[in-house]
Structure 1
Amino acid sequence: MKPFFGLFLLVVISLSCSKEPAITTEMVDGGTLFDPSVYNPEKYLVSRAIPTPTAEQARKPVIIACHGYSATTFEWDEFRAWANGRTDFYLSQVLLNGHGRSYEDFKKSTWQDWQAAIVAEYEALTKAGYQNISLLSSSTSGALLLNLVASGYFANRMAPRNLLLVDPIIIPSDKSLSLVKALGPMLGYVEVDQPATEDKVYYHFRPQETLQQLQSLLTIVRKDLEKGITLPSNCNLKVYKSKKDPSADPVSAVLIYKGTTLPNGQPIDVELIDSELHVYTRLNLREDVTSKDRQNQTTTFTDIVSRVLR
């Protein structure tokens, strides 16, 4: 998920403006550019690439990588590139429903739709016989995964070995998101200040309907954490959280730490990352990437794989 850049101010400015955004064909919003996984799902989803695994393949770890609100599978492309053809695990990059297509598709989607894409790949893999699955998330998909656990989804299913959450959002850094329910209908949409290159892989315009869906999801998960979430048997959880995150307040990690426990009652792992980026594992198309940013990315990718291969 990208920063909102002052939602309340944008509301005030846009009251006299059109509620329909000026979308161009160069944006993913326009419906001309689609996420490549739409055309070639077998290159992104293990369930499509190897639908009938051998016994050896079924035992190999699978990582399902899930992107954030308004993003696409692009958010985990660098992880695939870093893995560089490794054969000791498989990687599925899930495109959340409603994402990576037109603005209208995004506008009418719900947070349950977003979550359903993760569930579909998980169930396809388990049905095919894969025995070792971990779920990797960035930003909003972290909340989607926590909701799956809290809802009891894994109660009568094979549990994931790991939940690995990169910059999960529970509390937005921009507190004006809380105004979207009251002011969203007047706003229509939020325009994000991002480079044209990012317009091809992140929505430039955020419909107020989807912002309301995001707010609803975060409210539900906050309440789940207040009640307490216990992970299913044989499942571990680690949070990787940027210290100065412009989108997901670092207190999100605190809430997850306090509200989530391992099956044996022990606390989960939380690592604070010396970074000022949101989803610090995605560096492509960013400006002013430092050597520290690249070190953070490599260290996190290495840790993720080491946990999956244990």
Structure 2
Amino acid sequence: MNKSNLFFLFAIMALFYSCSAPTITDDLLDGKVIFDPSLYNPEQFLVSAKYPNPTPEDLSKHIILVVHGYSATTFEWQEFKDWSNESTYRISQVLLDGHGRDYDSFKASKWEDWQSAITEEYEKLIALGYTKISIAGSSTGGTLILELVKSGYFNTHLPPKNLFLIDPIVVSSSKLQSIVGIIGPMIVYAESDQTSEENKYWYRFRPYQTINELNDVMKVVRKGLEDEIKLPTETYLKVFHSLHDPVASTTSTVLIYKGLKTSTGAPIDVQLMDSDIHVFTRLSLRSNVTTLQHANQLDAFNQIANKLN
């Protein structure tokens, strides 16, 4: 075995923890204790649950669905909720199916299951009579939104007013992620290096089956972008991407810019942020947050909110 192959093998061993089942305790999101409050208090997170009988004043408000990424929870968008003044718009925090529960639920889920939570809330809002709806997605949340556009979902449903993508992942920054389909059965799961507080809001152990699902939806979206995707009429879309994103390669946004057009064939809006963190809009629980990182977050929040007024 040559040196390059040895290095590759050691890199895999360093990334993946074991070929046995992980040891999961109840202080982890992966455990049996339910941490995500949207599961037991949905009315605090979903507009459809909080206002099941909306008034004309309620229906006049702009609704934005905010969608977290792979292995995360509604916590990923909590800072936007806390920052926002919901006098003119309301926020519906969607928990992807298979997420926020336990390891086995996550392991059994498919990317279509993750996405179904978005369409379920979207369709409930339409049925209630809301006509001004936008969607924002971070990381894989953005990928799932792109797949909805690619599949033609919005051709048969009320088109969204705006779509916002934060560090969407179409191409991974990790070269090893693409071979999980080959080595997955041997390594069983990947373990994330995160703090004890983050363990309550992100799965620490990521079953290889779910990494395969992530790879699959990324592949579907890439193929769609190669063939070109068009937005629904009058739907605005903007991509924000960290210039040095360690998880979602900025090649993702290059492909999105090249392969996604407005309904008239015009280019979409893209903004590269001077940032080296993934999902730059989530700063809570991060260490050594800089003034620039706060400015980036505020810039994105203001741009999103201004489109909802």
Match of 1:205 in 2: 205
CA distance in 2, matches of 1:174, 1:48: 38
Match of 1:256 in 2: 256
Aligned-partner SS, 1:163: strand
Alignment-mate amino acid for residue 64 of structure 1? L
Aligned-partner SS, 1:203: coil
CA distance in 1, matches of 2:111, 2:224: 16
Aligned-partner SS, 1:53: coil
Q: Give the TM-score, by structure 1 length.
A: 0.94
Aligned-partner SS, 1:80: helix
Deviation, structure 1 residue 251: 1.1
Match of 2:181 in 1: 181
Deviation, structure 1 residue 183: 0.5
Assess if the C-alpha contact under 8 Å between 2:17 and 2:189 holds in 1: no
CA distance in 2, matches of 1:211, 1:292: 32
| Runs of 5+ unmatched residues, structure 2 | 1-6
How many residues get paired? 303
Aligned-partner SS, 1:29: coil
Q: Give the TM-score, by structure 2 length.
A: 0.95
Aligned-partner SS, 1:305: helix
Alignment-mate amino acid for residue 61 of structure 1? H
CA distance in 2, matches of 1:145, 1:7: 34
Aligned sequence identity (%): 47
Match of 1:239 in 2: 239
Aligned-partner SS, 2:289: coil
Deviation readout 1:146-187 (Å, 9 max, x if unpaired): 111111111121100011000000000011111100000111
Cα 1:231–1:16, aligned 2, differ >3 Å: closer, same or farther?
Answer: closer
CA distance in 2, matches of 1:74, 1:156: 31
Match of 1:47 in 2: 48
Deviation readout 1:15-69 (Å, 9 max, x if unpaired): 9944200111110001213311001000000000012212222121000000000
Aligned-partner SS, 2:294: helix
Match of 1:62 in 2: 63
Match of 1:142 in 2: 142
CA RMSD of aligned residues (A): 1.7
CA distance in 2, matches of 1:127, 1:204: 37
Alignment-mate amino acid for residue 82 of structure 1? W
Deviation readout 1:192-222 (Å, 9 max, x if unpaired): 1111110000000000000000011101100
CA distance in 1, matches of 2:233, 2:42: 31
Deviation, structure 1 residue 233: 1.1
CA distance in 2, matches of 1:31, 1:272: 39
